A = this chain, B = another copy of it.
């Protein structure tokens, strides 16, 4: 289904987008296929693209000094993912983004992103709304991370993101929740 992106934009904006806008988007973006375990972004390099997942699954993580992965984002079909610091400022990526399955993604270069926003106010609005939503979600995530115990966080996560529970390895969900895989296993044992 080629028009996942159109659907995503129209749902986010609450209005239909013109054919012209869509064709400008297609002209300034492209699709790419990745195998399982390939990198979309690597720490330390410039992240020049944001990705809209058309098919597949991936995740982003930070590595700390001890070499542990700390999962920042999970993404499957219809999710947007990128290294925000690098894409939006002019810095090196702080996270790595890796596929979990063979993945097909729509990619938008940051220059083209600026062009799109400049040429259609509706793009500006669309991306502003995406950012607003992301911000609201992160506020909620922070609040839960600092206030709830691991058990509650896992229950809340499973309820809110059942599609992730089915597709993402448990040890990555554990990391996303800020706990160790063994602890998540223990939590699941007690229902």
Contacts and interface: CB of A to CB of B under 8 A. Distances in A.
- Interface SS of chain A: helix, strand, loop or mixed? helix
Interface in A130-169: 131-136, 138-143, 145-148
A138 B64 CA distance: 17
Interface in A73-126: 84-85, 88-89, 94-95, 117-118, 121, 124-125
A128 B127 contact: yes
B117 A178 contact: no
Interface residues on A, range: 35 or more
Tally of this chain's copies: 2
Interface string A164-181: 000000000001111000
Interface of A: 62, 64, 68, 70, 72, 84-85, 88-89, 94-95, 117-118, 121, 124-125, 127-129, 131-136, 138-143, 145-148, 175-178
